[in-house]
Amino acid sequence: MNVYMVIGNGVTLDLVQELRKEKDIDLKNLFRNGEKVKWPGDDRVGYLSYKRCPALWRLGARPHSTREEYQKIVTDIITCANVYASIEIKKDQG
């Protein structure tokens, strides 16, 4: 039996505040400081780069993206996923 727990943004906000990491982790713009995040495969900085995340880069994600730009990119990704999911559901109902 699998058990899954879904935790909302409130828990994330509380955790970041509890850890006193608000200056390091900008939950309103996760692309900020993306060039400083280490790539898990080789432990080198530069996670948010064309080399590491070409799809995000093509969508306009940059470490210097504003919160508004970040929100638009995330909204576009969610919209795309929702459209794709609705197409798959219609195929299954078919």
pLDDT tens per residue across span 1-17: 888 777 777 888 899 99
pLDDT tens per residue across span 49-93: 999 999 999 999 999 999 999 999 999 999 998 898 888 676 666
Total Cβ atoms within 10 A of residue 32? 20
Encoded tokens for 9: 């943004």
- Burial classification of residue 31, based on how many CB atoms lie within 10 Å of its CB (0-12 exposed, 13-18 middle, 19 or more buried): buried
Contacts of 69 (CB under 8 A, 6+ apart): 60, 62
E-state strands within 1-94: 38-39, 44-45
